Structure 1
Amino acid sequence: MSTPPRATPPRVAPADRGATRIADRVVAKIAAQAAREALVARPERAPAPHAIVTVHHDIARVRVSLELGYPSDLAAQCAAVRRQVALRVEEYAAMSVPEVDIDIEHLHSAHTRPAAGRDRRLR
């Protein structure tokens, strides 16, 4: 006695197989790394940029906190960070980034370096 051949299930398109959810903290790490990439010259002693992200469906709202050197073209540096963050989040997480808010938390000046062993950062 032979068994009848099994019917092959219909092929399902990859997009229809299930959902992928990327956690907000993962998108925040992508955004923070992109901000580091965009900052050509980061001041010494400045911490790495930090990002906070809120994701709703496929839209990411991004806020990046960073410290910059002074004097410098702050607007140009912020524009570069915005472009790079939007590009990387769209590329790696397939999310739209309508805006990237930037918080400049501190400006580092070569003329006002703190004495050795002292940290003059204000928070």
Structure 2
Amino acid sequence: WDQTGMFGASCRHGFILKFCDMVQSGELAKYPLAVVSDFLRTNIDPHNVLGFDIGCSFNATVHSSELVGPLAAEWKLHILVNAFHGWAHNRTCQLECHSLYILGFGLEDLEGMQQIFSLSNLVTSLVRSALRFHWLQA
């Protein structure tokens, strides 16, 4: 297999919005950029907020991207750091990017994908030796 992992996005309700295979590479910026691009092109909500483990640095990546930058600026995309990862960042990052300090954001922790991946680990033993066709069905 050429697949080395998966990258996904979910809404704040825990519904999976997008999954893509990481092929012949590790965690590169192209995967979240593609997901954000698709999200901005198909979403009509003017209050777009994205939570990501590395939200503070990914914000700069998004806004400097030729593919996603103009859309992110047009839709006023705001990228935050997940609640539990946020405490590992410096104080400036926490004040600008942590959901706790964003007015009106509520108690959302932006950790939906962590929960989804935790549950998907139960399937790993079943599909570890499966053919690609059957893996995609799982």
After TM superposition, the score normalised by the length of structure 2 is 0.25
Who wins on radius of gyration, i.e. which is larger? Answer: 1
Compare the two structures and name the one with the higher helix fraction: 2
Which structure carries more relative contact order (alpha carbon 8 Å, separation 6+)?
Answer: 1
